[in-house]
Amino acid sequence: MWNFKKKKGLEWPTDDNGEAIPPAYLTHISGGPLDTELTLNLPGAYGIPHLTDLPNNGAFGKLIFGHPPSGIEVFVPETLLEEAQGLLNAEIVGDDDDPDNMTGENEDYEEEQEEE
């Protein structure tokens, strides 16, 4: 197919003729292994398969350092590109009833803490 690494588990979609849908560039991930895994697992959690490519000296760097120092290029099926971009660009919103609210907008919890 293409010279990409495909993660096992999700099947690459096909068109009406049974041919694989071409990949579309989603993003470049630079950073450590944690950044890579978090970014790659988000579309996968929503059923969007991905392919990865290691640009420049990425394969050698992965062999030596355990992760590619030049980053990873991520591709998704072109029919799912917009959905995958939406997932990566989504804003994290916390729950107002949760004291560990990620947005820090839980005024009731803050008032309770001040009263104690």
Q: Where are the domains of the chain?
A: 5-115
**Burial class of residue 74 (count of CB atoms within 10 Å of its CB; 0-12, 13-18, 19+):** buried
Q: Distances from the Cα of 13 to the Cαs of 39, 80, 86, 97, in angstroms?
A: 20, 10, 19, 39
pTM > 0.75: no
pLDDT at residue 96, rounded to an integer: 62
Residue 1 reports pLDDT greater than 50: no
pLDDT at residue 22, rounded to an integer: 92
DSSP for 19-79, please give it: PBPPEEEEEEE-S-HHHHHHHHHHHHHTT---EEE--TTHHHHHHHHSS-TT-EEEEEEGG
Kindly report which listed range (7-16, 76-85, 99-108) carries the lowest average pLDDT score: 99-108
Eight-state DSSP code of residue 99: T
Residues of the chain above pLDDT 90, percent: 17
**Where is mean pLDDT largest: 51-55, 72-76, 110-114?**
72-76
Rounded mean pLDDT of 48-77? Answer: 75
Chain segment 13-49, per-residue pLDDT in tens:
888 888 989 999 999 888 777 888 888 888 888 899 9
Closest alpha carbon to 74 in 110, 20, 111, 38: 38
Tokens read off for 33: 């292994």
Residues 73 and 25: beta-carbon distance below 8 Å = yes
pLDDT at residue 71, rounded to an integer: 80
- Dist CA 92 CA 3 (whole Å): 34
pLDDT at residue 66, rounded to an integer: 60
